[in-house]
Amino acid sequence: MSRFEKIRDAIADTLNVSADSITETTVAGDLPAWDSLGHINVMMAIEAAFDTMLDPEEMNDLTSVPKILAYLDANDLD
C-alpha cells in the first residue's frame, strides 16, 4: 500500500467518509468532517498508521494531504 493510500484510508475510516472523496491534493477545508475536532482525530489516526508522534506544532500544521505527505517524506516514514 502506498503512502498516500495509507493516509487516505486512515482519514476516510476516521472521518467516516468514502475513500474516493480523498485525493493527493485534499485539504481539511474540502471535507466538512475534517473540522477542528476531526483534525485531532485525523492526527491520532496518522500517528497510529505510521507509528509516529507529532508535536503540537506539527499537529497544527498538517491540515492537508500534501502537508501530511511532505511530513512523512521528510521523516522517512511509510
Partner 1 sequence: MKKPAELVEAWLAIDNRDELRRALLASRVELALPQARKLERHLNDLGQGDPLRLAFVHTYTSELLDPWLGFEAAVEGFAADIHHAPFGLSLHEARADSDLARHGADITVLMLQRTDLDPELAQPLAAFDANERAALRERALTRLDDIVRLFRDALSGQLLISLLPAWQPPGGGLHDAQSEASESGFWAELRASFTQRLRDRFSATLWLDLDEMLADLGRERCFDPRLWFMSRFPFTPLAARALSRRIVKLATALKRPKAKVIALDADNTLWGGIIGEDGLNGIALGPDYPGSLYLAFQRRLLDFQQRGFILALCSKNNPGDLDEVLEKHPHQLLKDGHFAARRVNWTPKPQNLRDLAVELNLGLESFIFVDDSDHECAAVRMELPQVEVVQVPSHPLDVPGCLDNVARLEILALTGEDRRKTAMYAEERKRRDLQQSVAGGGGGLDDYLRSLHMVMRVGVDEMGQLKRLTQLTNKTNQFNLTTRRYDEDQMQGFLADPDTLVAHFAIADSFGDSGVVGLAIVRLGAGSAEIDSFLMSCRVIGRKAESAFLELLLRAVAERGLSSVTGDYLPTAKNALVKDFLAEHGFTPGDDGRWHRDLNALPPRPESDFPIEIRVESTT
Find all residues with CB under 8 Å of 59, minimum gap 6, and list them.
Answer: 39, 40, 43
- Dist CA 12 CA 9 (whole Å): 5
Shortest Cβ 55–partner 1 spacing (Å): 7
Rule CB under 8 A: which of 33-72 touch partner 1?
A: 36-37, 40-41, 44-45, 48-49, 54-56, 59-60
Minimum CB–partner distance for residue 29 and partner 1 (Å): 19
25 Cβ contact partners less than 8 Å away, ≥ 6 residues apart: 64, 65, 66
Interface positions with partner 1 (CB under 8 A): 9-10, 13-14, 16, 36-37, 40-41, 44-45, 48-49, 54-56, 59-60
